Chain A
């Protein structure tokens, strides 16, 4: 039984078709990465998957009582809203001090429970968001561009942490990103999104696909090298291109 299924998903905002014919499945314990250029509809897809966007076509199926751990993109905390890290971890469900501290320790930010959210660095903030997501004992972690604002080593460390957490908890991971170099090696499956799914498959296959090259241009050799260097999973997904590109125009 898969955790999350989008079937023929379409989302419109007024006259603007943001997503069309998106098919996406996330199975337990796999890491799925969605990549795509800015404006490709990545965040809209995530919002639809968690139920914040009403599909204009198709449907979304979630496993019954699916526990989602969500790490939003660039969350801004209103200056007028006082919020300690400790209090934030108890939203919306209260957790004990011991649980809170354990979650912070697991994500590498122990002892900052009394700090205000608004005073954290970008890296600390991402780790606090991840700690909060873990407290829901998620079956799937959904991360929307979680490494924005982190430097190269910060990104690598963050993705290592995600991989470890996947191994420890068995949670599936759905990752949205445009920083390909670091992302690809952590993923079981990559979907290339540009209003629709252009291509999908194992990371190596996707980076070789002509649709991917058309979207992201040069530099694939480098990506592939970096990726292969760390790659030790077995994949049975083949890359397959979607050659039906009639909606390219409105997704650009």
Chain B
């Protein structure tokens, strides 16, 4: 008989991988890795503000993360050197969040659960939120799939085909922000970006088309979630980092495959 907390952890991880696999592929294709960092680090600031103003946790995180995501997307679209802007935003948001949290003794005590997540402590409400949110995000991405991929390949090409690249970018930005907010309890602010990038990077070596890569990224992410939870139970390791380590092992395996070519 599986313990309920293990079942919840497995469900949360698998549900999340649905969104992170699809979005993570776009993060890799569009070189948005830093964007994942900037938005996820902003989540810590969201945690602090939620507690300070007595807001529901997910709502507070979502508000801050969406705001930072839109600022970053706006700035990088305006010709600022985008990796610099993203670097400034990512680390400033994290530092601001940590400073803000230090004024709140109640959060300070379990700060590490927001930095690294605690998938073994998610409740049924979290599981429901994650599945609801991730199915909505996956639906949005699949609905707009061809337009998103075309705009990712080349913006001019997309525009000439009647697709608005700026609109597709906004869809991705918002979907990423929501995913980050949903995943903070699972892997924490410091490792969300890893969950976006590593499964997609591992899937690359086995894929000839974007569809296959995205589908494999979802599967690898789900496998990493299950493997990480199992490893955490067996070896008493922290759950979030264990999930990322299993994903990393999948990435290492994919390097062997790439060396074949």
Given contacts A81-B152, A91-B149, A92-B146, contact A70 B28 (CB under 8 A): no
Q: Chain B binding site: helix, strand, loop or mixed by DSSP?
A: helix
In the complex, are the beta carbons of B161 and A88 less than 8 A apart?
no
| Chain B residues positioned under 8 Å from A45 (CB to CB) | none
B156 at interface by CB-CB < 8 Å: yes
Query: What 1/0 mask marks residues of chain A from 144 to 180 whose CB sits below 8 Å from any chain B CB?
Result: 1000000000000000000000000000000000000
Which of B51-59, B84-92, B205-213 sits within the interface? B205-213
| Chain B residues positioned under 8 Å from A116 (CB to CB) | 208
Within 8 A of B (CB), among A39-83: 46-47, 50-52, 68-70, 72, 75, 77-78, 80-83
In the complex, are the beta carbons of A84 and B208 less than 8 A apart?
yes
| Chain B residues positioned under 8 Å from A84 (CB to CB) | 208-209
Query: What 1/0 mask marks residues of chain B from 113 to 142 whose CB sits below 8 Å from any chain A CB?
Result: 000000000000000000000000000000
Once bound together, how far apart are the Cα atoms of A106 and B161, in whole Å? 21
Q: Taking the nearest CB of chain B, how far is it from the CB of A102, in angstroms?
A: 19
Given contacts A80-B28, A82-B208, A87-B210, contact A75 B157 (CB under 8 A): yes
Contact pick for B159, options A52, A81, A87, A93, CB 8 Å: A52
Once bound together, how far apart are the Cα atoms of A239 and B3, in whole Å? 84
A142 at interface by CB-CB < 8 Å: yes
In the complex, are the beta carbons of A82 and B159 less than 8 A apart?
no
Query: What 1/0 mask marks residues of chain A from 22 to 52 whose CB sits below 8 Å from any chain B CB?
Result: 0000000000000000000000001100111
In the complex, are the beta carbons of A68 and B160 less than 8 A apart?
yes
Within 8 A of A (CB), among B203-222: 204, 207-213
In the complex, are the beta carbons of A80 and B204 less than 8 A apart?
yes
Query: What 1/0 mask marks residues of chain A from 91 to 103 whose CB sits below 8 Å from any chain B CB?
Result: 1111000000000
| Chain B residues positioned under 8 Å from A136 (CB to CB) | 161
Once bound together, how far apart are the Cα atoms of A222 and B226, in whole Å? 71
Contact pick for A70, options B146, B149, B160, CB 8 Å: B160
Q: Which residue of A is nearest B160, CB measured?
A: A70
Once bound together, how far apart are the Cα atoms of A68 and B161, in whole Å? 7
B13 at interface by CB-CB < 8 Å: no
The range of chain A's interface size is 20 to 34
Once bound together, how far apart are the Cα atoms of A120 and B153, in whole Å? 16
In the complex, are the beta carbons of B163 and A92 less than 8 A apart?
yes
| Residue among B150, B165, B211 having the largest count of chain A Cβ atoms under 10 Å | B150
Once bound together, how far apart are the Cα atoms of A52 and B28, in whole Å? 24
Q: Taking the nearest CB of chain A, how far is it from the CB of B166, in angstroms?
A: 9
Within 8 A of B (CB), among A86-143: 87-88, 90-94, 114, 116, 136, 142
In the complex, are the beta carbons of A51 and B159 less than 8 A apart?
yes
B29 at interface by CB-CB < 8 Å: yes
In the complex, are the beta carbons of A70 and B157 less than 8 A apart?
yes
| Chain B residues positioned under 8 Å from A87 (CB to CB) | 209-211
B31 at interface by CB-CB < 8 Å: yes
Once bound together, how far apart are the Cα atoms of A80 and B32, in whole Å? 12
In the complex, are the beta carbons of B28 and A82 less than 8 A apart?
no
In the complex, are the beta carbons of A70 and B153 less than 8 A apart?
no
B10 at interface by CB-CB < 8 Å: no
| Chain A residues positioned under 8 Å from B209 (CB to CB) | 82-84, 87
Given contacts A83-B210, A93-B146, contact A50 B156 (CB under 8 A): yes
6 A-B residue contacts at CB 8 Å? A70-B157, A75-B157, A78-B30, A81-B28, A82-B204, A82-B213
18 A-B pairs besides A78-B152, A80-B200, A90-B146 with CB distance below 8 A are A46-B156, A50-B159, A51-B159, A69-B160, A72-B154, A75-B153, A78-B29, A78-B30, A80-B31, A80-B204, A81-B152, A82-B204, A82-B212, A91-B161, A92-B158, A92-B163, A93-B146, A94-B146
